[in-house]
Each structure stands twice: as C-alpha cells, then as structure tokens.
Amino acid sequence: MIVETGHYALVLALALALVNSVLPIWGSVTGDRRLMAVAPSVALMGFGLVAYAFFALTYAHVASDFSLANVVENSHSAKPLIYKISGVWGNHEGSMLLWVLVLALFAAAVALFSSSMPDDLRANVLAVQSWIASAFLLFILLTSNPFARLANAPAEGNDLNPLLQDPGLAIHPPLLYLGYVGLSITYSFAAAALISGRIDAVFARFVRPWTLLAWICLTLGIAMGSYWAYYTLGWGGFWFWDPVENASLMPWLAATALLHCTAVMEKREALKIWTIFLAILAFSLSLIGTFLVRSGVLTSVHAFASDPQRGIFILLILVVFIGGSLALFAWRAGGLKQGGLFAPVSREGALVLNNLLLTTCCATVFIGTLYPLALEALTGEKISVGPPFFNLTFAPLFAPLFVLMPIGQNLAWKRGDFFGAAQRLIVAIGAGLIAMLALAAWRGGPVVSVVLSGLAIYVIVGSFADLGRRLFVGGGATAIMGAGQRALRLPRQAFGTAFAHAGLGVTLLGLAATGWGAEKITALRPGDEVEIGPYQLTFESVQPRAGPNFAERIGRTAIRSSGVLIATIEPSTRFYPARKMNRSEAGIATIGLGQVYMSIADVAANGSVNARVFWKPLVSLIWIGALIMAFGGCLSLSDRGFRIGVARRAAKAAASSPQPAE
C-alpha cells in the first residue's frame, strides 16, 4: 500500500506542477494577486508529495520488496542497511526521483523564505520551477518509473553494483544534486526576470543567496566525488577529466562566474545581460550534464542504464528549456538599460576578467567533452580526449585567475589603482617568492610544482590582505587592539570571500605537491618491505575476511618512519558473489597532510601479491581546500546582507512609510 500510494503521490505531484506552471504566470500577467498567491502553497504541497513518493521507494528498498523491478535490479536482502538506503539513488530511476525531489525542495525553500520578495517575481520564479518539475516528472512517469511492478516477484534481487556500495555514494549524489539542481533556482529567477522584464539590483539581491547555496553544495559534491574516485578506483588518481566529472565541473565554473557577477549587479547594477546569461548557462550546463549521464551517450559508473528513448526525452527537455530561455533572452536583452559605469581597472573590471576567464575555461572543457561525441556522430571515428588536452587548455586559462584573484580583491569599485593594489599585496607576493625559493632549495623537484606552490602561498596570503588592511587600521598597538572590535563589525561576507579564495589556494597547493609524490608497483610476499617516500612499509600478511555481502582478502601492512610504527593499513580485494564482481579497496593512512596509499591485486600463483604503493605529500589539502571554500560560502550566506529573512523586516518598515525618504 505504501508503494502504490507513493506512486500515486508522484502522479499527483505532476498534476500540481502543471497547475503551478500556469496559474501564477496568469496571475502576474493580469495582476491578479490571488492567482499569484497559489504558487508558494502549491510548491510546498508538491514538495510534500514528491518527498512521500521518495519515502515510499526508500521503504520498498529497505523492506526488500521484490515486487518492484527497481528493487530487484538494484538491491539484495543481504545488503547492509546503509546501502539499501543509498541504493535508492544508486540507479537511474531512483536518481531521477532524487533529482526531482531536490527540484521540489528548492521550490519549497523559495516559497518559505521569500516573503520579502515581490509577489510577481515569486510567482514567476515558482512557475518556471514548475515547468522544469513537470518535464522531469513526466520523464520519470513515462520512461523511467521506479514504481514499476513485476508480475512475479523473484525471491532475491540482483544487488547493487559493488563499486557503488560505499559510504561515498550515500553522500556524493545528494550533495551534487543539491548543487546541480539548486542552479535551477537561478535559472528560474533569470527566466522570471526576463518574463516580467524587470532586471535590476533588487533581482540580483534575491538571486544571490540561492546561487551561493547551490555553489556550496556543488563544491562539496564535486570534492566528495573526487575523493570517492580516489579511494575506490585503486590507482590514486583524483580527477580523470572523465566526461561525467566534466559535466559537474562545467556548471561549477559557470556558477562561480555567476556568483561574482551578481555581486557586481547588486552593488552597481552593471553587467545585467551577462548575469542573466550566466544564470541560464549554469543550469543549462547542469541539464546537459544530466543528458550526458542519463542518456547513455556516455558510459561510466554513473550511467546506470542506457536507453535511447530516455535519451531522446531528455534531449527534448534540453532543447525546450535551453532554447526557450535563450529565445526569451534574445527578446528581452536588447531593451535593458545600461547600468553603472566603471573603468577597466576597477573591482568591476577585475570581476569581468574573472568571468571572462571562467567562462572560457568552461568552454574548453565543453569542447573537450563534446568533441569526441560530435566527431563520432559525424565521421564514425572514435577518439578520446584525455588529460593532456585539458592540462594544455584548461590550466593556462585558469592560472591567470590565481594571479589576478588577490589583486582584484584589492581594487576599489568604479576606478581602481593597479599599483596600489599590488603594493598592498607586497606581503603576499613576498611570501610566495620566499616559499618558491625555499622549496626549490630544500626539495627541488619539478619546476611546475615549485612555481605552483609559490603561487598557492601567494593566493592564500593575498586572500586575507584586504581583510587585514580593513582590520588593522593605523599602526602599532592601537591597531591590534582595534582589530578585534572591527572584526566583529565587519560584514561576515568579507571573511567569507577571504576564506573561499584562500580555499582555492589550499587546493592548488595540494595539487602542486603531487609532483613530489612517489609511486611503486611491486610484487610483495608476506614479510617483504618496501620503501616509499620517507616511510618503510612492511607487508605483514594476507588474510581472508568476510564482509556482510562480500568476501575479501586483506593485505595487512605496517607503516614505519625510521623504525617507529605509525599506522597499519589494510588494502583489500573484495568479491561480491551476488554480482560475481571483484572490487579493490585501497588502504589509506593519513600522516600529517599527506597520505600513504596502497592497493593490492589478486594473489599470484607463487603466493606474492601485486601491489601499488603511493606516497602523496599534502594530498589531503586538495579536499581540505574545497571544504574551506564551502566554509567561506557558508560564512557569506550567514551574512546579514545575504540572509534571506532580513529584507522582510526592512520591507515591513518600508511598507509602513510608503513615502521614499528623499
């Protein structure tokens, strides 16, 4: 009964989404406030229904209800509970349901936290959100229904792909979807603004927190996915320039650009057209990513099932939403008034350059991802565009961003002073140079690593330069005494910016340090020793061990540094009988900020085990940097100027005295 009511709730959600696609827009066109008021209430109800449907599917997975095709294909009664739950979105149908759940969640959040928003803007935003929801609910119900039942329920299921049986899967997709689909809100805002024709600083003010929220989730989701690949795929890589990864990187680049752009628009009302364009672009790239992953055009761990019919349906959604919004854009963009003016060397100018570089980076990723597909479709020639292509195109375009980032932060709005800004960065530049020289003298190693490390230090220190200048005004003891007080009064957004930028520097440092890593592939017998980086590894034993739904062979290995035991790791190979699949699990020991990473393969005939051993200094900084970025984002989000509830009080105050103050 739970299953079928969940199914019905999903159908009902489609009916509501269709209603919400029409009534609010009708209201905003005719100025009928009752029709507009329908939008938030229906958005909340719609979320409730989709959430119930999702709960019903989760229940079916947890209870191993093998009368559902989806459960049979992706679950097994012996699977641990956490993977029964995460298995709900570890497949095509379930992940699309999660997609729609997040879509509905964001609509509901807008409905709840937007009482200060003008009625017509809110009505239009929620209506556009409902268009997207309608399209995807139709897609689910007609082509990928998770509630499809089987006439004869089998006794046991086929189990989830072992690669996906990992705690990472429990967190990675929901986070990524919060980011991916969260961008739908910026899209809806842009489309709503284009429909009403009012695109101004007020619009930017309302769209900013949502962009930031989506960006935070996307950042965390990508980092999480990268770490997951790092420890499950067994060869120590963390980014493969795999098309599926690129599909998440592109929206991130666009969202980052959008984030900076809305700042300009809110402060100066400049770059209006560009902001709207980026808002559309960011979500369009999310949609393209969904299409690439879900249509079976690409195949990877993420492509659960390929079905041409589904591909065509998503392609259709893609064409309608991207094409429609761009047409709307072309129609309205011409009529926009010029915003605030600024000199090329200014905060605005720097942000324009930032946007330019970010979107160009995004374009190169786009080309690298889609070129092989286009070429195969046109000529039948199969090629692969791998890391060399991206290293050669993406890196040179992204590197200037690091150089310019601290400088831009130190430029004034409207008209800046380049040399003044450079002067303020004296400390940062010095720190970078010293780090570079010290590293070159102490470690030597690849030039790229040395240069990038120096650049990273410059970025980290430089990110706080502006903050420091604002805190320590004047000189001497008074400045330090005043700093604490000032810090309290300073908008949290200023801290947020500094942390987010520094986080990127931290990630860069982690990337740069990969050059100093070491790798060994060797055959080991119990008792053998191997030296990696500064550590000695002793391969102690190979033992079988039983997991809940797999059998594994673990290779106990002790890590010593100058004779002292530091850690023990247990890399393993696992066998999952339900799917008859093997999977290896790396053994990782985090020592300081670096990691010793080891993965083993099957036991050879002579009793030795083939192993791959890495020493990766500072590697954890790559993900710590992402966490710092997200932390910075959260700080900004909690800022008064960003907080969604604040304008409400202001609006009430304004409403009580309708005459403008001047």
Partner 1 sequence: MTRKKRRLVLISSALLTLSLAVGLVLFALRDNIVFFYGPSELAQKAPQPGTRLRIGGLVKEGSLKRLDGQSVRFAVTDMKSEVEVAYTGLLPDLFKEGQGVVAEGALGEDHVFRADSVLAKHDERYMPRDVADALKKQGVWQEGAQQLASPGK
Partner 2 sequence: MLWVIFAILTGFAVLSILWPLAKTPRGVSRGASDIAFYKSQLAGIERDAVQGLMTPEDAQGASAEAARRLMALAEPPLERSVAGAGRAVRFASIAVLIFVPALALGLYSVIGDPARPDLPLAARNEASPARMDLMAAVAKIEAHIAQNPDDGRAYEVLAPVYLRMGRGNDAAQAYAAALRLLGQTPERLALYGEALIYAANGAVTEEARKIFEAAAKDPSLAKPRFFLGLAAAQDGDLLRARDIWERLLAEAPDNPPWAQALRERMAAMPGAPAAAQNESAARDAPAVEGGSGAKANLAAKIQAMPEAERSSAIRGMVDALAARLAQNGQDVDGWLRLVRAYAVLREPDKARAALVDAKRNLANDATAIGRIEALGRELGLEG
Interacting positions 554-593 with partner 1 (CB under 8 A) = 573, 579-584
Nearest-approach distance from CB 74 to partner 1, in angstroms? 11
| Terminal Cα-to-Cα distance of the chain (whole angstroms) | 63
The set of residues, in sequence order, having a beta carbon less than 8 Å from that of 357 and lying 6+ positions away, is 397, 398, 400, 401, 404
444 phi-psi bin (left φ>0, alpha ψ -120 to 50, beta other): left
The set of residues, in sequence order, having a beta carbon less than 8 Å from that of 481 and lying 6+ positions away, is none
Contact status: 337 vs partner 1 (CB under 8 A): no
Nearest-angstrom CA–CA distance, 143 and 323: 23
Instruction: Provide the residue type at 39 as one letter.
Output: A
The tokens 């003891």 sit on which residue? Answer: 477
Q: Which stretch binds partner 2 (CB under 8 A): 26-34, 279-287, 509-517, 629-637?
A: 26-34
Contact status: 525 vs partner 2 (CB under 8 A): no
Contact status: 268 vs partner 2 (CB under 8 A): yes
Nearest-angstrom CA–CA distance, 272 and 238: 37
Q: Which is nearer to partner 1, 236 or 496 (CB)?
A: 236
Per CB under 8 A, the list member of 31, 80, 167, 344 interacting with partner 1 is 344
From partner 2, partner 1, none, which one binds at residue 565 (CB under 5 to 8 Å depending on kind)?
A: none
Contact status: 42 vs partner 2 (CB under 8 A): yes
Contact status: 205 vs partner 2 (CB under 8 A): yes
Which is it for strands 551-561 and 572-576: parallel, antiparallel or unpaired?
antiparallel
Q: Which stretch binds partner 2 (CB under 8 A): 44-52, 525-533, 557-565, 626-634?
A: 44-52
Extract the tokens encoding 114: 């937007």
Contact status: 481 vs partner 2 (CB under 8 A): no
Half-sphere exposure of 439 (CA within 13 A, CB side): 24
Nearest-angstrom CA–CA distance, 29 and 593: 58
User: 560 with 616: CB under 8 angstroms?
Assistant: no
Length, in residues, of the chain: 662
Per CB under 8 A, the list member of 451, 601, 627, 634 interacting with partner 1 is 601
Number of residues that bind partner 1 (CB under 8 A): 62
Q: How many CB atoms lie within 10 A of CB 648?
A: 15
Contact status: 213 vs partner 2 (CB under 8 A): no
The pattern of x and - marking residues 394 through 413 that bind partner 1 according to CB under 8 A reads --xx----------------
341 phi-psi bin (left φ>0, alpha ψ -120 to 50, beta other): beta
Q: Which is nearer to partner 2, 20 or 284 (CB)?
A: 20
Partners of residue 594 on adjacent β-strands:
591
Extract the tokens encoding 2: 């739970």
User: 494 with 478: CB under 8 angstroms?
Assistant: no
Contact status: 85 vs partner 2 (CB under 8 A): no
* Binding positions for partner 1, 366-385, rule CB under 8 A: 367-368, 371-372, 381-385
Q: Which is nearer to partner 1, 105 or 532 (CB)?
A: 532
Per CB under 8 A, the list member of 64, 522, 536, 538 interacting with partner 1 is 522
Contact status: 658 vs partner 1 (CB under 8 A): no
Per CB under 8 A, the list member of 81, 82, 112, 148 interacting with partner 2 is 148
* Binding positions for partner 1, 163-192, rule CB under 8 A: 163-164
* Binding positions for partner 2, 225-264, rule CB under 8 A: none
* Binding positions for partner 1, 261-300, rule CB under 8 A: 298-300
Contact status: 523 vs partner 1 (CB under 8 A): yes
From partner 2, partner 1, none, which one binds at residue 171 (CB under 5 to 8 Å depending on kind)?
A: none
Extract the tokens encoding 432: 């970078």
φ and ψ at 548, to 5 degrees? -60, -45
Number of residues that bind partner 2 (CB under 8 A): 103
Nearest-angstrom CA–CA distance, 38 and 23: 7
Q: Which residues bind partner 1 (CB under 8 A)?
A: 161-164, 233-237, 240, 298-301, 341-344, 349, 352-353, 356-357, 360, 363-364, 367-368, 371-372, 381-389, 392-393, 396-397, 517, 519, 521-523, 573, 579-584, 599, 601, 604, 610-612, 614
